[in-house]
C-alpha cells in the first residue's frame, strides 16, 4: 500500500479532480482560448523537462528518486543547483498546465493544495533525513538554494 503514497500518484489524483471539474462542472468559466492552451502546454512540457533533468542528475550521482528511501548522496549539481525540489516543482507545473489546458478554472485552488500535500507528505521528511545525514553540507545547500524556485 506504500506505493499509493508517492508523488506521481498524488499528481494523477489531482489531475483526475481537475479533469472531472473541467468536464462535469465547468460552470461556464474559461481562461479564454488559445493562449491558455499554449501556456498549459508550455507548463506541462516544462514540468516534464524539470523532472527528467532531476532524474538524470539523481541517476548520475547514483542515489534514489524515491521519497521515502534514504538518499546515498546529497545532489546539489545540475537542476538541483536551482531548486532543492525540481521534481516536485515539475509536478506543480504539470498540474497548473493541465488546469490551463483543460480550462478548469475552478481547479486553480488545487495547485496550492497540491503543493501543501507534497510539502507535508514528502519534502519535510526528506529534508529532515538529509539534514541528519549530511548536516553541515545540507545546511549550506539550504542557504544557497531555495526549496522551490
Summarize pLDDT for 29-62 with one digit per residue, the tens: 999 889 999 999 999 999 999 999 999 999 999 9
Does residue 68 carry a pLDDT above 90?
Answer: no
pTM strictly above 0.75: yes
Read off the pLDDT of each residue in 61-65 and give the average, rounded to a whole number.
Answer: 96
Read off the pLDDT of each residue in 6-17 and give the average, rounded to a whole number.
Answer: 97
> How many whole angstroms from its chain centre is CA 23?
24
| CA distance linking residue 68 with residue 9, whole number of Å | 14
> In this predicted structure, what is the pLDDT of residue 4?
80
Contacts of 144 (CB under 8 A, 6+ apart): none
Read off the pLDDT of each residue in 97-116 and give the average, rounded to a whole number.
Answer: 97
The band of 132, judged by pLDDT with boundaries at 50, 70 and 90, is very high
Does residue 2 carry a pLDDT above 80?
Answer: no
The band of 145, judged by pLDDT with boundaries at 50, 70 and 90, is very high
> In this predicted structure, what is the pLDDT of residue 73?
96
> In this predicted structure, what is the pLDDT of residue 1?
56
> In this predicted structure, what is the pLDDT of residue 98?
98
> In this predicted structure, what is the pLDDT of residue 3?
67
Amino acid at each position: 500500500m506504500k506505493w499509493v503514497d508517492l508523488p506521481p500518484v498524488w499528481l494523477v489524483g489531482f489531475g483526475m479532480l481537475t479533469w472531472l471539474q473541467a468536464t462535469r462542472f465547468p460552470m461556464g468559466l474559461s481562461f479564454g482560448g488559445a493562449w491558455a492552451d499554449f501556456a498549459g502546454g508550455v507548463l506541462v512540457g516544462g514540468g516534464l523537462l524539470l523532472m527528467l533533468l532531476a532524474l538524470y542528475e539523481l541517476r548520475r550521482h547514483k542515489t534514489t528518486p524515491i521519497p521515502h528511501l534514504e538518499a546515498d548522496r546529497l545532489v546539489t549539481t545540475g537542476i538541483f543547483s536551482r531548486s532543492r525540489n525540481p521534481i516536485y516543482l515539475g509536478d506543480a507545473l504539470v498540474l497548473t498546465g493541465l488546469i490551463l489546458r483543460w480550462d478548469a478554472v475552478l481547479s486553480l485552488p488545487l495547485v496550492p493544495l497540491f503543493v501543501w500535500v507534497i510539502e507535508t507528505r514528502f519534502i519535510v521528511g526528506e529534508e529532515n533525513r538529509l539534514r541528519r545525514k549530511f548536516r553541515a553540507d545540507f545546511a549550506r545547500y539550504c542557504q544557497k538554494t531555495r526549496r522551490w524556485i
